[in-house]
Amino acid sequence: EDAAPRLPYLKACVRESHRLTPVGVILMVKQAAGPLTLCGHDIPPGTTVALNGSAFAKDPQYVDAPEHYLPERFLPDAVAARKGTPQEVLDHRLLATPFSAGARMCLGARVANWEILALTARLIQDWRFELEPGQSWTTVQGL
């Protein structure tokens, strides 16, 4: 049985983790098939264009409290509330996964997503995590 629909908060936690600590900064590199205009700049055909998803994911224009871990921002009600607003960019398929999208996306994406959900669910179910007395939590950003 498919357990993922019954785990919306866990899925939101994984999505928020991907937003805060992306595998790579540039998620998509494509060549312009025809002339296009991006942010007022004319892009000729054949020009390589890169999408920096990390910039959107951490821009206060699109994300409230961008440096804070808030999985609730990816729960279904929050996603629905963003519809039709500039913040909806967070829900675009190219920003919703670290595995790219389209015909050339990572072949192992489905397996990796299920492994993340299954492993995290089992760890939470079977283990108790706590800091030793006197210790504090330190976040280390890096790749």
Are residues 11 and 2 in contact, defined by beta-carbon separation less than 8 angstroms? Answer: no
Q: 106 a known binding residue?
A: yes
Cα 104 versus chain centre, distance: 18
Are residues 14 and 77 in contact, defined by beta-carbon separation less than 8 angstroms? Answer: no
> What DSSP string describes 67-105?
TS--GGGGSHHHHHHHTTSGGGGGGSTTTS-TT--STTS
Binding-site residues sit at: 106
Binding-site residues for heme sit at: 106
